[in-house]
Homo-oligomer: A and B are copies of this chain.
Amino acid sequence: MAEYKVPLKDMSFLLHEVYKADEMWQQLPKLAEQVDKDTAQAILQECAKIAEQELDPIARQGDEVGVSFNDGVVTTAPGYKEAFNTYVEGGWAALGGDVEYGGMGMPKMLTAMHEEMLCSGDISFALYPVLTAGAALSLAKHGSEELKQRYLTRMYSGEWSASMCLTEAHSGSDLGIIRTKAIPQDDGSYSITGNKIFITGGEHDLTENIVHLVLAKLPDAPSGPRGISLFLVPKFNVNEDESVGERNHVSCGSIEHKMGIHASATCVMNFDGAKGYLIGELNKGLACMFTMMNFERIGVGIQGLGAAERSYQNALEYAKDRLQGRSLTGAKKPEQAADSIMVHGDVRRMLLNMKALNEGSRALSSFVAMHLDYATFGEGDEKVKGEALASLMTPIAKAFFTDLGFENTVAGQQVFGGHGFIREWGQEQLVRDARITQIYEGTNGIQAMDLLMRKVAGSQGALLKVFTDEVNAYIAENEADEAMNEFITPLNQALVDLIELTDDLLAKSKNNINELGASANDYLHVFGYTAMAYIWSRMAKVAQNGLDNNGESGEDFYRSKLHTARYYFTRLLPRRVSLIATAKSGCDCLFDINDELF
Which residues of A are in contact with B by a Cβ distance under 8 Å? 167, 170-174, 177, 198, 256-260, 316, 320, 323-325, 328-329, 337-338, 342, 344-352, 355, 406, 410, 413-414, 417-418, 420-424, 428, 431-432, 435-436, 438-440, 443-445, 448-449, 453, 512-514, 516-521, 556, 559-560, 563-564, 566-567, 570-571, 574-579, 581-582, 585-587, 589-593, 595-598
Contacts and interface: CB of A to CB of B under 8 A. Distances in A.
Contacts of A320: 595
Given A316-B598, A578-B578, 16 more contacts: A167-B418, A172-B324, A173-B325, A174-B324, A174-B325, A177-B337, A257-B423, A258-B423, A328-B513, A329-B512, A348-B590, A560-B597, A563-B592, A567-B589, A567-B590, A570-B589
Given A316-B598, A571-B582, A576-B578, A590 B422 contact: no
B328 A516 contact: yes
Q: Do most interface residues of chain A lie in helix, strand or loop, or is the interface mixed? A: helix
A422 B177 CA distance: 22
A348 B445 CA distance: 11
A5 to B, nearest CB: 13
A257 B513 contact: no
A181 B451 CA distance: 61
Contact of A421 (B259, B328, B582): B259
Contact of A431 (B170, B172, B259): B259
Contacts of A172: 324, 417-418
Contact of A597 (B424, B439, B514, B556): B556
Contacts of A324: 171-174
B418 A438 contact: no
Contacts of A342: 595
Contact of A346 (B348, B432, B521, B581): B521
Identify the 8 closest CB pairs spanning chains A and B, nearest first. A345-B517, A259-B428, A578-B578, A560-B597, A574-B581, A346-B445, A345-B518, A563-B593
